[in-house]
Amino acid sequence: MTELSLRGLRKSFGGHEAIHGVDLDIPSGEFVVFVGPSGCGKSTLLRLIAGLEDISAGELSIGGAVVNALPPAKRGISMVFQSYALYPHMTVFENIAFGLTLKRRDKAEVDARVREVAATLELTELLERLPRELSGGQRQRVAIGRAIVRQPKVFLFDEPLSNLDAALRTQMRGEIADLHARLPDVTMIYVTHDQVEAMTLADRIVVLRDGRVEQVGRPLELYHEPANLFVAGFIGAPSMNVLPVKVSAAGAQGLLCDLGSDREVRLPLTIGGSPEAVQTLGIRPEHLVEDPEGVLAVTVERIENLGESHLIHARLPGGATLIARGSGAVSAAAGDRMRFALPPEHVHLFLADGRTAAA
């Protein structure tokens, strides 16, 4: 069943339109992640869904009913913010109970519900503490507890982990994944800058750019089959290498590509349109394979050792730069010449307007 339906959703601030007509259907129980560069409209879209901003045009339905005019409290939604927004003078118990007591529930019922949620989030020992007596991760768990105690149908997260250190982020990411597994009927929408959070938590990722949806798909779908250069560059870290290419022939022998290396590359690929329309070749750093016979001749400019892997920053004779990721330690150094093979199954080709040159 579709839980959320966005139809031509628009938002203007004064004369400036920040969301330019977004269409999106989110089935009940799905975990959807909004990603995109700073200012692309992720938070605004989330706030439109929450009812914290008025919708300028279009229609938003939750559970089959149009909710454009419904105030936030009546939408069956809970939201968790980056800043936790806990009440500093209230204990953990009181903070979690707050959403319930506002609705004037029976005291015993409130007590039982808060303790149940606290147990789920491993907060039972901390119920009498004040927020200032908690770690960042514990505070964020209280914020999540306060949101789930209301038993929302839809759960919105606005960068909930961005104030935490790396280790805690990893732990909380796991906890949010567990929470989603324990609440299979609750629809979750999550805004993040973090690639790993997006790739690991999402059933589907929505890539936004300048207030428009660029692509919606499962994480690996976006990684393997980006619809355009923007998505190709945005999903994956470090970004996909994009090299200017001239395709001089296409046909049964495949594509003959000039990448500014010391020889042309023949790729056994087919494309939909004319070869001249192809302007860019993409290959991810992890798909460049070091090979003394490889078609890409480069000069190493810099090595980054990451421990379990390394990044080789290099330049082609034609001037284009690229990054290759290898495993373990590396013996190459700045100034070395190296060659890389270009596995055709991992090559992406793009047209002048950025769209994928689909076969």
User: Which residues of this protein are in contact with ligand ATP, per CB under 6 A?
Assistant: 13, 18, 36, 38-44
Q: How many CB atoms lie within 10 A of CB 112?
A: 11
| Residue with Cβ nearer ligand ATP (39 or 273) | 39
Instruction: Quickly list H helices, 62-165.
Output: 92-101, 107-120, 136-148
User: Tokens 């990603």 belong to which residue?
Assistant: 35
| Residue with Cβ nearer ligand ATP (54 or 262) | 54
| Residue with Cβ nearer ligand ATP (210 or 291) | 210
CB of 13 to ligand ATP, least distance (A): 3
Chain centroid offset of residue 237 CA:
12
| Residue with Cβ nearer ligand ATP (3 or 159) | 159
CB of 137 to ligand ATP, least distance (A): 22
Residue 234 neighbours by CB under 8 Å, 6+ apart: 35, 36, 37, 207, 214
Q: Find out whether 315 and 193 touch, Cβ atoms under 8 Å.
A: no
- What tokens were used for 328? 């373990």
Q: DSSP class of residue 275?
A: G
- What tokens were used for 123? 């907060």
CB of 47 to ligand ATP, least distance (A): 7
Residue 255 neighbours by CB under 8 Å, 6+ apart: 247, 249, 266, 267, 269, 271, 275, 278, 349
| Residue with Cβ nearer ligand ATP (47 or 75) | 47
Euclidean distance between CA atoms 24 and 51, whole angstroms: 17
CB of 2 to ligand ATP, least distance (A): 24
Helices (H) and strands (E) in the chain, counts: 8, 21
CB of 33 to ligand ATP, least distance (A): 13
- What tokens were used for 233? 């560059």
CB of 282 to ligand ATP, least distance (A): 24
| Residue with Cβ nearer ligand ATP (233 or 343) | 233
CB of 208 to ligand ATP, least distance (A): 7
User: Tokens 């040159």 belong to which residue?
Assistant: 357
CB of 17 to ligand ATP, least distance (A): 9
CB of 342 to ligand ATP, least distance (A): 34
Report CA-CA distances (Å) from 316 to 113, 268, 342. 62, 22, 13
CB of 38 to ligand ATP, least distance (A): 3
Bridge partners for 66 per DSSP:
61
Q: Find out whether 317 and 297 touch, Cβ atoms under 8 Å.
A: yes
- What tokens were used for 322? 């690229």
| Residue with Cβ nearer ligand ATP (40 or 265) | 40
Q: How many CB atoms lie within 10 A of CB 287?
A: 19
Strand order in the sheet with 2-13: 16-27, 2-13, 57-62, 65-66
Q: How many CB atoms lie within 10 A of CB 199?
A: 18
| Residue with Cβ nearer ligand ATP (111 or 210) | 210
| Residue with Cβ nearer ligand ATP (38 or 327) | 38
| Residue with Cβ nearer ligand ATP (42 or 146) | 42
